[in-house]
A and B are shown apart, each in its own frame.
Chain A
Amino acid sequence: MEAFDYAKPSTLNEALQLATEANGGALMLAGGTDVIVQLREGRKSCSLLIDIKAIDEVNEFSCNEDGLTIGSAVPVYLITANEAIRSAFPGLVDAIGLVGGTQIQGRASVGGNLCNSSPAADTIPALIAHQATAVIAGPKGTREVAAEDFCVAPGQNVLEQGEILLSIKVPPQPSNGGAHYLRFIPRNEMDIAVVGVGACIELDESGDNFVSGRIAVGAVAPTPLYVPEAGEALAGQPVNDETIEKACAAAKAAAKPISDMRGSAAQRIHLTGVLTKRAINKAVERARQ
């Protein structure tokens, strides 16, 4: 590994100061399960590694009638074990629980998964479907960015020099809403998603019709993909196979996957349709409960 310096600021301001002074040479360390491996393999480099885990704001999380807030360094096991979050945001917990095996879950954070900005990241399609926003702190103050706008290219995002992801906010879900995230992998765990689909839907009082839907697909484009057309195909339509099939077709049409060592383009387009259908069906089941 290339050498770097290490700092563990205890306040946000201290962290922002260090990040600015590093002049583009700083990387943030939360759980480290991505960044340590990347530094070791020379895929990333830095002159200063800033460990943010001593900063209060990034370690807090809350779940109440205003929605969900997850500090960017909160390890995923705390989220998936939290009863309130599991019952209010099951579709999000689906995704968060897939970030690596047991050992990774002890360290990795949702914020880190978002900042790593892999096109195949598991949390991001679910965050997009849930209308999450990223809260970013920087030298010029705080700003918010919608989850679907956060990633700009494989491994790259909107964070500018000197900025730090503070937290992720998720609005409360409607009472007739349901959500699900699932992915396809060749084994049963420990794989990067070949395709991942997050779906949030809202049904009307009768439960027989969609009011709205948000569908996002991972690993089929340079960034996790929000597919508004898929949601539009559901809005106001009856809950049946035909409607869902239209949403799937929209998702498949939007997908622009590559062929790589994890899957072929044709396979990914096919799986987009399969997983969109399964995600929506499960979301509907949850909405009706």
Chain B
Amino acid sequence: MSSETSGSNGYKVIGTRPIRHDGIDKVIGRAVYGQDVSLPGMLHGAILRSPHAHATIKSIDTSEAEAHPGVKAIITARDLPALADQLSDLGENVVNLRDVSTNILAAGKALYHGHAIAAVAATTLNAAQEAVQKIKVEYEVQQPVLSVQDALAPDAPLLNPENKTKSLGEDTEEPSNIASYYQHKKGDIDKGFEDADVIFEREFDTATVHQGYIEPHNVVAQWNADESVIIWCSTQGSFTVQSQVADLLNMPVSRVRVIPTEIGGGFGGKVQVYIKPVAAVLSKHTGRPVRMVMDRHEVFQATGPAPGSNIKIKLGATNDGKLVAAYAYLAYEAGGFAGSVVGAAGTCVFACYDIPNVQIDGYDILCNKPKTSAYRAPGATNATFCTEAVIDEICEKLEIDPLEFRKRNGAKEGVSRADGPTYDRIGYIETLEAALAHEHYSAPLGDAPEGKARGRGVASGFWMNFAGQSAVNINVNGDGTVTLVEGSTDIGGTRASIAMQAAEVLHLEAEEVRPLVVDTEAIGFTEVTGGSRTTFATGLAAIEAAKDTLNKMKERAAKMLEVEADDIEYSNKVFSCKSNPEKKHTFQEVAEKTGQTGGPVVGSATTSPPSHGPAMATHIADVELDLETGKVDVIRYTAVQDVGKAIHPSYVEGQLQGGAAQGIGWALSEEYVYDDEGHLLNSSFLDYRMMTSLDLPMIDTVLVEVPAADHPYGVRGVGEVPIVPPPAAVANALYRAAGVRMEKLPMSPKNVLEAMGKI
């Protein structure tokens, strides 16, 4: 049995496992993804990208390319409107719009290998690509900055001489590669470390990794004669695409319609726009629809990966196993433009624990790599890898069981973090207890074959979860089913979990609520599908819309039964009179007659929840190490998580398993590899090594249900935290197998052999 759910289930639909409403289309290949959209007269776009990691652009000559057969338009940054500094909220991180504009078409400088320089629209993709080859660019190549250490060196080349560090919220006068610096403080860490009996201080480096969604970015843009544009695309947020395109092209939002197709994975990487505004401008210049699809090399080179980082952690504890002081230095690579997720890292780094004295110093560092983006619990995985490893050392030194230690120090309701917030009801301790009680934790490791060694490790993780706005409309159909209209693009099965929440309120079967994910003109503003918010927040809107629908149906039933509305009660699809239970109508009967009782019944609601409780997890990993080659295999894995309430347990389990798989890849084999000139060498799935089915075991899940206070069914966002513990769990297991503590990610065979002193 792969999963246990430890909550009670008094619900009719919630907690069941219906077949998802969009499932059939997806298993027969009929579901339409962005790359499947085709319009008559459509042109194809291709992009010229910088071959240099750091260069000034002296000139761009498109004349020969323009003469290439089939070419209809070529654009560069000068074809985009000039923008002032302006911040845009992308959900999980905030970006400067001028930076986004310069990122999608370089203005003056190429800041990373693959930076877009120009775009061509032509009658075929081959013609567009051939024309791209004919664009002549004169570059003045500069020395690249390829790591935090490079960027901070005293003689480091400056990516942006105009950039002056924003330090603790204040502007400074110092041109630098440090975009910003923040600090969180709680208590007095100097005193805390004085009180500590044991102190460990360690430094770590983690490599850049990519979200690795299988579907590349895509768009079809159609500019219209009335100066409006329609955009079809795969995206995590139609409304954020709408606002980014509108802002970047200086248009009112109402002139930008975004129609989301199905989306083949996002993980945070499909929020920021890259080719959508470019396709829109090409369509404007040609008067024809333009499709652009990134190829896999472009996805790796030019979309936002997760930052590499340099991190120092210092922890102090007393002999009886209480953490008394914690210090973190977090330096995250932002890439070519400011705005890494180092801020979120500061929130997460010690978030599982109740520590009285804390200081966190966070630095956002420019370097010649693509502008980084959000990746599933952005910022948390790097930081947690380090904290959890140091905790493991403390546990070993003090001879305390690692889960017991975490229980002693675990955050609970009322504990506050260094960055400010205080916890409401959370289920972290429960995850530790479930892990301690799980058969995996006490199972024998088994004998390793000759030449190999085995070890078991644990780690915990935290992610803060976002709330955000959602809107839902419900239309009652004449056959007693309802259609639920929402704007949250569905990456992992959320349209089903949202429909199920409405079904629960309406006492309908899951199949009787038909969810539709619609475009920006058909539903009210809905925040991105990200931040683990969708089942929670759009679910809340669905619940309220369902209640609104039910109230309206009660009124109709009352009319049909000729009683007052407050005399009607509803249960199990039947409206009946409290005063005379023989007088009743089914939901379907009322639905059939809406035309005669006042017209169609439409319920609606919007939500902007004030809070969304965080997610906490504890994972157990068993590894087997080949002592001669340094290769690590994960041979058993259990992910325990407080999920609040699992609406559709199969898809909740899926989030835990998928996040764990990404985390294991981050731990063992994924990394961006650059040469000394800043060229990304491994921009394909051959050499950017994600876990295949042969690299992973079954991933067992334990869904701990500590109902969250801010949702009527107790839902807590689940999607992101699963990626946070794996690198640390694997590192701690590897220590027990190999006797070495890894200070680098990935823990590739080469890095392991080096750590073991074998090469």
Residues of A within 8 A of B (CB): 1-3, 184, 186-192, 194, 260-264, 266-267, 269-271, 274
Contact = CB atoms under 8 A, between A and B. Distances in A.
Contact of B695 (A1, A188, A192, A269): A188
A190 B750 contact: no
Contacts of A263: 750
A121 to B, nearest CB: 14
Contacts of B695: 187-189
Say which size band chain B's interface belongs to: 20 to 34
Most chain B C-beta atoms within 10 Å of own C-beta, residue among A1, A261, A266, A270: A261
Nearest to A270: B759
A288 to B, nearest CB: 18
Contacts of B758: 270
29 contacts: A3-B126, A184-B629, A186-B689, A186-B748, A187-B669, A187-B689, A187-B692, A187-B694, A187-B695, A188-B633, A188-B692, A188-B694, A188-B695, A189-B692, A189-B695, A190-B692, A191-B689, A192-B687, A260-B681, A262-B687, A263-B750, A264-B750, A264-B759, A267-B759, A270-B758, A270-B759, A271-B629, A274-B628, A274-B629
B686 interface: yes
Interface string B668-681: 11000100000001
- Tell me the interface secondary structure of chain B in the complex: loop
B126 A267 contact: no
B686 A190 contact: yes
Contacts of B633: 188
A10 B759 CA distance: 53
Interface of B: 126, 130, 628-629, 631, 633, 668-669, 673, 681-682, 686-687, 689, 691-692, 694-695, 748-750, 753, 758-759
B686 A192 contact: yes
A150 B673 CA distance: 31
A272 B144 CA distance: 35
Nearest to B631: A186
Top 4 nearest A-B pairs (CB, nearest first) are A261-B673, A188-B694, A266-B759, A261-B681
Given A186-B631, A186-B689, A1 B126 contact: yes
Given A187-B691, A191-B686, 12 more contacts: A184-B629, A186-B631, A186-B748, A187-B669, A187-B689, A187-B695, A188-B633, A261-B673, A263-B750, A266-B759, A267-B759, A269-B759
A262 B684 CA distance: 13
A211 to B, nearest CB: 27
A1 B124 CA distance: 12
A190 B695 CA distance: 11
A261 B759 contact: no
Nearest to A41: B297
A239 B687 CA distance: 38
Nearest to B671: A261
Contact of A267 (B130, B668, B750): B750
Nearest to B696: A188
A102 B686 CA distance: 15
Most chain B C-beta atoms within 10 Å of own C-beta, residue among A187, A260, A263, A269: A187
A187 B690 CA distance: 9
Contacts of A191: 686, 689
B758 to A, nearest CB: 6
B686 A270 contact: no
Most chain A C-beta atoms within 10 Å of own C-beta, residue among B629, B633, B686, B748: B629
A192 B687 CA distance: 8
Nearest to A269: B759
B461 to A, nearest CB: 24
Most chain A C-beta atoms within 10 Å of own C-beta, residue among B130, B758, B759: B759
B634 to A, nearest CB: 11
Contacts of B673: 261
A3 B687 CA distance: 27
A86 B489 CA distance: 51
A284 to B, nearest CB: 16
Contacts of B687: 192, 261-262
A191 B669 CA distance: 11
A186 B669 contact: yes
B636 to A, nearest CB: 16
B617 to A, nearest CB: 25
B97 to A, nearest CB: 34
A260 B126 CA distance: 32
Contacts of A266: 759
B171 to A, nearest CB: 40
Nearest to A264: B750
Contacts of A184: 629, 631, 749
Contact of B749 (A3, A186, A188, A190): A186
A189 B753 CA distance: 20
Contacts of B692: 187-190
Nearest to B694: A188
A188 B750 CA distance: 15
A194 B630 CA distance: 13
A86 B695 CA distance: 26
Contacts of B689: 186-187, 191
Contacts of A261: 673, 681-682, 687
Nearest to A275: B629
B290 to A, nearest CB: 21
Nearest to B674: A261
Nearest to A262: B687
Nearest to B630: A267
A79 B689 CA distance: 28
A270 B753 contact: yes
Nearest to A259: B750
A130 B212 CA distance: 40
A187 B686 CA distance: 11
Nearest to B673: A261
Nearest to A194: B749
Contacts of A186: 631, 668-669, 689, 748-749
A159 B303 CA distance: 41
A271 to B, nearest CB: 6
Contacts of A262: 687
Contacts of A269: 759
Contacts of A188: 633, 692, 694-695
B694 A267 contact: no
Contacts of A260: 681
B694 A189 contact: yes
A194 to B, nearest CB: 8
A5 B681 CA distance: 31
Contacts of B691: 187
A1 B668 CA distance: 34
A83 B628 CA distance: 33
A269 B682 CA distance: 22
Contacts of A2: 130
Contacts of A274: 628-629
A252 to B, nearest CB: 12
Nearest to A191: B689
B263 to A, nearest CB: 25
A3 B126 CA distance: 9
Most chain A C-beta atoms within 10 Å of own C-beta, residue among B669, B673, B692, B750: B750
